[in-house]
Amino acid sequence: MSERVWQVGKAYREIIYETSNGIAKITINRPDRRNAFTPLTVNELYDAFTVARDDASIGVIILTGKNHGGRHEDEAFCSGGDQKIRGNGGYVGEDNIPRLNVLDLQRLIRIVPKPVIAMVNGYAIGGGHVLHILCDLSIAAETAKFGQTGPRVGSFDAGYGAGYLAAIVGQKKAREIWYLCRQYSAAEALEMGLVNKVVPFEQLEEECCSWADEMLALSPTALRLMKASFNAATDGLAGIAQLGGDATLLYYTSDEAKEGRDAFKEKRVPDFTQFPKFP
Query: Residues interacting with ligand S0N, by CB under 6 A?
Result: 33-34, 36, 74, 76, 79-84, 100, 102-103, 123, 125-127, 149-150, 153, 155, 157
What does the alpha-carbon distance between residue 173 and residue 68 come to, in Å, rounded to a whole number? 31
User: Does the annotation place 117 within a ligand binding site?
Assistant: no
229 vs 14: CA distance, rounded Å: 33
Nearer to ligand S0N, 115 or 147 (CB): 147
> Residue 184 annotated as binding?
no
**Alpha-carbon Rg of the chain, whole angstroms?**
21
The letter for the amino acid at 70 is G
Cβ distance to ligand S0N smaller for residue 34 or 114: 34
9 belongs to an annotated ligand binding site: no
**116-155 exposure pattern, b = at least 16 Cβ within 10 A, e = fewer:** bbbbbbbbbbbbbbbbbbbbbbbbbbbbbbbbbbbeeeeb
DSSP class of residue 8?
E
For ligand S0N, give the closer residue by CB, 9 or 80: 80
Q: How far is the CB of 55 from ligand S0N (least distance, A)?
A: 27
Q: Is 138 annotated as a binding residue?
A: no
Backbone phi and psi for residue 145, each to the nearest 5 degrees, phi listed first: -135, 150
CB of 127 to ligand S0N, least distance (A): 3
Q: What is the CB neighbour count within 10 angstroms for residue 10?
A: 13
The residue number whose beta carbon is nearest to ligand S0N equals: 80
Taking Cα atoms as reference points, which of 90, 146, 140 lies closest to residue 123? 146
122 is in an annotated binding site: no
Distance CA 155, CA 130 (A): 13
Q: Closer to ligand S0N by CB, 55 or 74: give it.
A: 74
CB of 220 to ligand S0N, least distance (A): 31
Is 27 part of any known ligand binding site?
no
Binding residues for substrate: 34, 79-83, 91, 123-127, 149, 155, 252, 267
Binding residues: 34, 79-83, 91, 123-127, 148-150, 155, 252, 267
